[in-house]
Amino acid sequence: MHMGKSAFLILIISVAILVLLLILPYSIGVFIALYYLAGLPMKEALILGIATWTVIFLFDIYVLSGFRIVKEWERAPILRLGRYIGMLGPGFIHIWRGFESYQTIIDLRVNALQATSEQTMTKDNVPVDVDAIVYWKVIDPEKAILNVTDYDGMVAYVSQTSLREIIGEHELDVLIAEREKMGKRLREIIDAKTEEWGVQVISVEVRDIKIPPQLQDAMARQAQAERERRARVILASAEYQAAEQYSKNRTALELRWMNILYELGISGKGNLIFVPSWMPEMRFEPLQTLGMLKLKQLRREKEEQESGEDQI
């Protein structure tokens, strides 16, 4: 098993030998001459020379076939005769084929997994469908390859079971109102289960919570009733505060009456306005209380005048 500078050195030597064997003229003749000079007969020297050239050529091809390139975010677990000996990468690596091998490449980047829980009962017995996104990554490649058969699938299974577990622990109102807290709690549960596999859960985001249509209508009516209640409480509080101001300031009460009459007048619906005689005086001269008190005074003066003429 080689990597880095050692792999480049093996590559250079192998390529040089291959060039010498294929390009250099009379390379086979060199081996034949060596055997002939060693005292072997010509026929045996010829056979041994060709055999040596063939063996060196095939061995060089075998060495060159063991080179691999591992990317920056990848790691290659190497097995030598079935025994784990370490991780290789990133960069240029070399393995001895037939003796060393790797079954998979481990990706160290962040992965996203969709966890779905269909028709899961909450603590208050409401069936809901919850969709969540789990962000995780491998932080210990050795544990991921040795402690679990398929860490991708195992993370998916753990995410789904943990999602169902946490849904059963909370009521529907809590699930809807506290999604962020539920995501943090779910991350802690999944991370505790996957720690021995060399997997770290970065975050869990609850994307959607689906509830039955009948329950949606009931929740909408409840929300509308709550808004109406708040509006009435606010209106009553405002009227109470205004009444306190009117009791302290008579001019403010008179201005309020004027504003009410003005709003009724501009409504454009042809409203008939009855002004009670006991309404507060507006102190407008000569028409006090929009003329009502003045008309009453004129009528009384006319009656007194008529009664005086009758006596005469």
Q: List domains and CATH numbers for the chain.
A: 2-106 (no CATH), 110-211 (3.30.479.30)
Residue 144: name the closest of 204, 190, 104, 116 by CA.
Answer: 104
The confidence score (pLDDT) of residue 34 equals: 83
The confidence score (pLDDT) of residue 269 equals: 63
The confidence score (pLDDT) of residue 287 equals: 43
All residue ranges of the chain with pLDDT < 50 are: 1-2, 282-290
The confidence score (pLDDT) of residue 57 equals: 87
pTM of the model: 0.64
pLDDT tens-place string over residues 54-85? 888 888 888 888 888 899 999 999 999 889 99
The confidence score (pLDDT) of residue 216 equals: 67
Residue 245: name the closest of 237, 253, 255, 235 by CA.
Answer: 253
Diameter over CA atoms, the chain: 180
The confidence score (pLDDT) of residue 1 equals: 47
- Give 267's Cβ-side CA count (13 Å radius): 12
- Alpha-carbon distance of 211 to 131, in angstroms, equals 12
Angle, vertex CA 158, rays to CA 153 and CA 160, nearest 5:
100
The confidence score (pLDDT) of residue 276 equals: 58
The confidence score (pLDDT) of residue 107 equals: 93
DSSP 116-184: EEEEEE-TTS-EEEEEEEEEEEES-HHHHHHS-S-HHHHHHHHHHHHHHHHHHTS-HHHHHH-HHHHHH
The confidence score (pLDDT) of residue 136 equals: 95
The confidence score (pLDDT) of residue 274 equals: 64
* Strand-pair partners of 107: 74
